[in-house]
Amino acid sequence: MKKTKINEAHYILKGKMVEFCGWDLPVQYSGLNTEHVAVRTTGGIFDVSHMGEIWFRGREALRAVQHLISNDASKLAPGRIQYAGLLTESGCFVDDLLVYMIQENEYLLVVNAANIEKDFQWMKKHTARFDVQLENRSEEYSQIAIQGPVAEKLVQEFTDIDLKPMGYYHFASGRVSGIEAIVSRTGYTGEDGFEIYFKSDAAAASKLFLDLAGKGEKYDALPAGLGARDTLRLEAKMALYGNDIDDNHTVLEADLGWILKLKKEGPFIGGEALARQKQEGIRRKLVGFELVDKGIARHGYPITVDGKSFGAVTSGTFAPFLKKPIGMAYLPVEHCAVGDEFQITIREKTVSARIVDTPFYKRNK
């Protein structure tokens, strides 16, 4: 199993360790619900070093990025970030990612742990004709996410970067505990928060994590594991690659039209198929639901609409902050209005679910 440079800290903090995408990572420390609620009310500190960092550098770096992604990276300025889809020819997802514009001719693409090698090969293959160098530096970089209402105060104690004026989806370079780092106002929880990218040895990485957790006590912030990360992102209706988005569902079907910029300059992979789909209309759409009956609908549980089978739950859990069972699923467009009901088979029982407005949880700004 692979270990992040923060691995030692998880054992010191008595994390309950599991294998995730080949990595030895904590699913929880003090408890999933406690950690989840801490992120919503105070703060949580996550090791997300398993995420991938791929650098694009060169005269045609922007053209290469634009060719690969659904969003319009030409709108970026140095210090700005964009969420985007890395798409197949049919407009489905190879992955979802963040694009950081470091400076002119230099971009950082942050991708999912499970997809690093696949994405890197895909990116190289489809940008061969551009004057750009791609470098997969995922192994070198550690990443810590600090999320929740106290995140700004907590991280500010460690860095010379002035965090207060930093906008959402902006970033800056500076030092965190003396280590050179990129600090961005981003996250995967639905809360305000920061993600810190840095290169260091294991001792320094573990120390930074432990120091953040230690200083976090003052703010009632807790180290948080993969369990809370998953339930937090689901309450905020953020898609998880492999569950809610994959190479079988398009950007439009995933209800992520806002990251699709068909009018951007130049052709891009998946653009033609999506322009066609936009004109013809989609036949299924990713929606959020709550259960009307008791139970918890989880990933893979079969769905029936008007007595006919229609796929399965893509993500489902008991939402620890909202305290109710929620989930996401693709439903036929003629049955995907808020209030519409459908059925889910939970083991041998059939229960009713109702489509609701999403995100399930939205923070007060």
Partner 1 sequence: MAKENLLYSKDHEWVRREGDAVVIGVTDYAQHELGDIVFVDLPAVGKELKKGDPAANIESVKAVSDVYSPVSGKVTEANASLGGSPELVNQDPLGEGWIFKMSVEQAAELDELMDLQKYEEYLKGIAGE
> In terms of CB distance, is 25 or 92 closer to partner 1?
25
Q: Is 82 in the site for partner 1 (CB under 8 A)?
A: no
Stretch that binds partner 1, among 68-76, 85-93, 204-212, 290-298 (CB under 8 A): 290-298
Size of the site for partner 1 (CB under 8 A): 19
> In terms of CB distance, is 268 or 301 closer to partner 1?
301
Q: Is 29 in the site for partner 1 (CB under 8 A)?
A: no
Stretch that binds partner 1, among 53-61, 76-84, 209-217, 293-301 (CB under 8 A): 293-301
Whole-number Å distance between alpha carbons of 306 and 295: 20
Among 125, 263, 308, 347, binds partner 1 (CB under 8 A): 347
H helix or E strand, kind and range, residue 53: strand 52-57
Q: CA 265, 266, 270, 272 torsion: positive or negative? A: positive
Asked if 237 and 328 count as a contact pair (C-beta separation under 8 A), the reply is yes
Angle at 135 between CA 97 and CA 86, to 5 degrees: 25
Pairing outcome for strands 93-103 and 52-57: unpaired
Among 164, 294, 308, 365, binds partner 1 (CB under 8 A): 294
Amino acid in the structure at residue 328: M
Span 99-158, contacts to partner 1 by CB under 8 A:
none
For residue 222, the cross-strand partners are 44
Quick note: the x/- pattern for partner 1 over 304-333, rule CB under 8 A, is -------------xx-x----x--------
Q: Is 295 in the site for partner 1 (CB under 8 A)?
A: yes
Amino acid in the structure at residue 346: I
Span 224-283, contacts to partner 1 by CB under 8 A:
227, 230-231
Query: CB 254 → partner 1: shortest distance, Å?
Result: 24
Residue listed under structure tokens 């054992």? 11
Q: Is 296 in the site for partner 1 (CB under 8 A)?
A: yes
> In terms of CB distance, is 39 or 111 closer to partner 1?
39
Query: CB 166 → partner 1: shortest distance, Å?
Result: 32
241 alpha-carbon distance from chain centroid: 8
Asked if 239 and 256 count as a contact pair (C-beta separation under 8 A), the reply is yes
Report the residue count for the chain.
365
Whole-number Å distance between alpha carbons of 221 and 247: 37
Whole-number Å distance between alpha carbons of 155 and 340: 43
Per CB under 8 A, residues contacting partner 1 are: 27-28, 31-34, 36, 227, 230-231, 294-296, 298, 317-318, 320, 325, 347
